[in-house]
Amino acid sequence: LLIRLFLEQKILVEQPPRIMAANENATLACKYAYNGTGNEFRASLNKGTDRAVEVCSVSWNGSFHNHHTNKDFNCLVAVDSHKKEVNFSLWKLNTDQTDIYFCKIEVMFPPPYISNDKSNGTVIHVKEKLFQLPVFQSATPFWAVVVTLGFLAFYSVLITAAFWKNKKNRILTSDYMNMTPRHPPGPKNKHYQPYAPTRIHTEYRSWEP
């Protein structure tokens, strides 16, 4: 009878077949079913078809959790005993870490020791990170840009009109600068007077009758 009870105790594990790592991050959810009376468990994530590399693990008995992570990985484990689910969160993955990963659930205490059967595993595919040029988005509305450009164009027209008007006034002023008659050629005559028309005086006599 005891042997029969021991044989009936088992752990079944369910995990997704494939996960695409988004931005070098991935979370693998391992759901398990257990029909025994164990109260101390251990869950681990193993890499490769031979499960040779243990990525990270956690041990718990009620409220106490003990974590362990491989130095070549960034991993955080969260356990939900009520839902019977263990989540392995990985970040900063690289393309060399693309592989198949297996969840392993173990009953550590009380005896007998039980672990789940080998599952189909989950392929975690890490895409090569592509370099993207930053895209700058202007916070200024389009209409504000149009108004600003219109104002600058109007201001440029005013400046140009003022420049040509000032230049025209200088040309007209230069044409009327030297209107005083010049001295005749030859030796200077200090008694020379500028030409002025001779005024003809006419005397009028009064005629007596």
Residue 87: which H helix or E strand, with range? Answer: strand 85-90
- Render each residue's pLDDT in the chain as its tens digit; 209 residues: 344 445 567 899 999 999 999 889 999 999 999 988 889 999 999 999 999 999 999 999 877 788 999 999 999 999 998 899 999 999 999 999 999 999 999 999 998 899 998 888 999 999 887 655 555 555 556 667 667 777 677 767 777 777 666 666 665 555 445 555 555 555 555 554 554 555 554 444 444 44
Pick the closest to residue 16 from 102, 83, 104, 80 (CA basis).
Answer: 102
98: left (phi over 0), alpha (psi -120 to 50) or beta: beta
Q: Take residue 57 and report the two structure tokens written for it.
A: 């693990």
H-helix segments, the chain: 2-8, 142-175
| pTM for this model (two decimals) | 0.60
Q: Take residue 83 and report the two structure tokens written for it.
A: 């839902």
Strand partners, 53: 47
Quote the CA–CA distance of 51 and 90 in Å, as a whole number.
Answer: 17
Three-state secondary structure string covering 64-89: EEEEEECCCCCEEEEEECCCCEEEEE
